[in-house]
Amino acid sequence: MKIESCFSSISLVVLAILLISSLNAQVIPTNEWVNFFSSNTTFDGSPVPVGAVIEAYDPDGVICGTFTVNTDGQYGFLLVYRDDNTTPDVDEGASPGNTITFYINDVLAIPSGPDDPIWVANGDIIQLDLEGHSNYPPVISNFPDSIAFRSDTIYSLNLNEYVSDLNDDDLDLNWSVSGNDSISITIDPSTNIAELSASLTFSGLETLVFTATDDSSASDKDTIVVKVIPYILTVNISLNSGWNLVSWDVDTPNDSIFVLLSDIMDNVVLVLSFESGGLTFDPEWPQFSNLQLANHLHGYWMKTLADVTLNITGTTVTNDTPIAMEAGWNLVSYLPENPDSVVHALGSIIDNVIVVLGFDEGGLTYDPAWPQFSNLQILSSGFGYWIKVTEPCTLIYPDNQVGKGKSMAKGTMNFSHKTAVIPTNEWINIFGENVNCENNRLKIGSIIQAKDPDEVTCGEYIVKKEGCFGMMPVYRDDPRTEIDEGAKPGDVITIYVDGLELEESVVWKSFGDVYRISLHPIKNIIPDSYNLSRNFPNPFNPTTNIQYQLPESVHVIMSIYNICGQCIKVLVDEQMDAGSYSTRWDGKNHSGECVPSGVYFCRMDAGKFSRTMKMILLK
């Protein structure tokens, strides 16, 4: 069992060494003393026997009191004398404030209250029960909760630093370990140093139990969680059909891109990287490609024909491996195993950061000037990142990560509705705050769209906070495909809110640009005729937008009907001025209940105008 007292176990060992030379000395009475007594003192679990000798020592190891037990389980008054100040050459005993140490039959005793073993003032009467043992068990304390080491190294643990034995100051103990299946442990009996090792490919956690046993079979034990980081590791990176921005955290023995991509080469369309300029690998034109080697310090754009898994095997690298950064753009890897916040991960260079870009089925941006609008907040293993900096610097990731929430995983950019946007590997960013449309705050659920001059939707964002939107990536057309995915440099981008065009526009100039717009009032040209436009999105879940136009002031009723012809919701029922309008249905009926998937009809009645359109709710 572990011994609890006002003394630490290690302090008691020190005191024992100091006192051992004084055990045969004699008490020198002085004219001041305190009185200790007890009616519940034990030795080896039984009442201390008649004839047992109890001795008291000051911190200098001077015996200053003694008592021979005359009643089982009791002692006292045991007079403990103060040092006499008039005899400076002789140390007779304690000084006020000293903690007194007790021995029973030359064996250290542990105070157990109710008072403290402290010499305070002449004449004090102190009740102090003592607990003595002919053999104290070893005590393990301050043992580390966890350790970690890489499988190509040996971890040394000096066990003597964490154990004390009141009966054996030489710590001549027998150590044993259990719980290790894959971790090898050897303990040198002469030094009590444990050495932990594992196979180069082992990765995992094991909970080990260390037990210290003395010559009398008394023991103590404690546990430690050991994490082994593999020296040789295979990283599995999931690639989606289309563009992927990836990196890996292992040092490969062969950096040839032909070797690294050999398992997926049939699906590789293109690989791009960057170091003082663009680097390209085209499987159809390898002899002209200037990207021939790939490593763990860079990020890579990879475009594939299908969903595949890239397997990279190599030796693990530490988080603090330095990555040299050039002024301007850098395409870098993310080395830590765990996710981390952008600000913490890039702490070593954060003062130089202009913008950080990531990609996960869509563009992600962190702008230090507008962190509240940035949709890149967490950096994650397996992804690469564009980082633009003001001057040359060195990126060193921290040892510990503080990322909260989920790691950025594949699919985080999926919209909750069908969208026509096709992400590419270049984009600009648009955001807005304190936004008003038609003199009203921008509503949650509103859909912001960006279209190029060819009316191709190249950016889309669903408003999540009233009055704010973004970052919204607006993608460039990929010149390598026959599909028109979006804008070209120099194109004017038109912005729409719930299908209604805004007066404000931006120009697509350079990859990574960030634009703040205010969303000026929507152009409100008086329509020439009545119209009920097709809802969007359609199919939808759970919200869809419905636009309509009025050439004159009129009373408008807009209702939703189910397949049985029953009116389940009235969206509009009021007199309205001429103009273009938009309303929204949230997929709920009159009672606020969510309706099931199926076909529904929206009917608009305005004066003599009446029109019905079909909508599909698909959950």
Greatest mean pLDDT among 207-216, 432-441, 442-451: 207-216
Strand partners for 363: 359
Parent domain of 366: 235-395
Q: Give me 334's structure tokens.
A: 């993310």
Is 402 inside a domain boundary? no
Is 3 inside a domain boundary? no
Instruction: Give 446's pLDDT tier (boundaries 50, 70, 90).
Output: confident
Q: Which of 459, 457, 418 is nearest to 616 (CA)?
A: 418
Q: Give me 193's structure tokens.
A: 């140093």
The pLDDT value recorded for residue 406 is 41
The pLDDT value recorded for residue 40 is 95
Q: How many CA atoms lie within 13 A of 374 on its CB side?
A: 22
Residue 164 vs residue 341, higher pLDDT? 341
Is 411 inside a domain boundary? no
Residue 218, number of CB atoms within 10 A of its CB: 17
- Enter the DSSP assignment of 182: S
> Average pLDDT, stretch 93-122?
94
Both 206 and 248 in one domain: the answer is no
Instruction: Give 200's pLDDT tier (boundaries 50, 70, 90).
Output: confident
Choosing from 461, 493, 516, the residue where a domain stops is 516
List pLDDT tens digits, range 414-442.
Answer: 344 456 788 888 989 898 876 666 556 77
The pLDDT value recorded for residue 413 is 41
Both 328 and 277 in one domain: the answer is yes
Judge whether residue 19 has pLDDT over 50. no
Whole-number Å distance between alpha carbons of 75 and 69: 5
pTM: 0.56
Is 404 inside a domain boundary? no
Both 248 and 181 in one domain: the answer is no
User: Which region among 166-170, 171-175, 177-181, 342-346 has the lowest average model confidence (pLDDT)?
Assistant: 166-170
> Average pLDDT, stretch 375-399?
95
List pLDDT tens digits, range 55-96.
Answer: 999 999 999 999 999 999 999 999 999 999 999 999 999 999
* Residues of the chain above pLDDT 70, percent: 90
3-state secondary structure 554-610: EEEEEEEECCCCCEEEEEEEEEECCEEEEEEECCECCCCCECCCEEEEEEEEECCEE
Is 342 inside a domain boundary? yes
Is 242 inside a domain boundary? yes
Instruction: Give 10's pLDDT tier (boundaries 50, 70, 90).
Output: very low
Both 27 and 45 in one domain: the answer is yes
> Average pLDDT, stretch 589-606?
94
Is 24 inside a domain boundary? yes
* Cβ contact 248:237 at 8 Å: yes
Both 384 and 240 in one domain: the answer is yes
Q: Give me 15's structure tokens.
A: 């005191």
Question: φ, ψ for residue 286 (rounded to 5)?
Answer: -65, -30
Both 245 and 390 in one domain: the answer is yes
Q: Which of 116, 195, 119, 107 is nearest to 159 (CA)?
A: 195
Both 388 and 301 in one domain: the answer is yes
> Average pLDDT, stretch 373-392?
94
Whole-number Å distance between alpha carbons of 503 and 4: 77
Both 280 and 388 in one domain: the answer is yes
Both 224 and 240 in one domain: the answer is no
User: Which region among 3-12, 34-43, 527-536 has the lowest average model confidence (pLDDT)?
Assistant: 3-12
* Cβ contact 413:383 at 8 Å: no
- Cis amide linkage into residue 471, ω under 30° from 0: yes
Is 1 inside a domain boundary? no
Strand partners for 362: none
Both 220 and 291 in one domain: the answer is no
What CATH number did the domain enclosing 457 receive? 2.60.40
For the chain, how many structural domains are there in total?
Answer: 5
Choosing from 132, 166, 184, the residue where a domain stops is 132
Whole-number Å distance between alpha carbons of 353 and 368: 7
User: How much is the mean pLDDT over the chain?
Assistant: 87
Q: In which region does residue 611 sit, left (phi positive, over 0), alpha (psi from -120 to 50) or beta (all else)?
A: beta
Choosing from 101, 132, 163, the residue where a domain stops is 132
Q: How many CA atoms lie within 13 A of 311 on its CB side?
A: 6
Both 210 and 255 in one domain: the answer is no
Judge whether residue 233 has pLDDT over 80. yes
What CATH number did the domain enclosing 588 receive? 2.60.40.4070
User: Which region among 295-299, 375-379, 515-519 has the lowest average model confidence (pLDDT)?
Assistant: 515-519
Both 250 and 382 in one domain: the answer is yes
CA dihedral over 313, 315, 318, 322, signed as positive or negative: negative
> Average pLDDT, stretch 522-538?
79
Q: How many CA atoms lie within 13 A of 74 on its CB side?
A: 6
What CATH number did the domain enclosing 202 receive? 2.60.40.10
List pLDDT tens digits, range 234-282.
Answer: 999 999 999 999 999 999 999 999 999 999 999 999 999 998 888 889 9
Q: Which of 304, 343, 510 is nearest to 427 (CA)?
A: 510
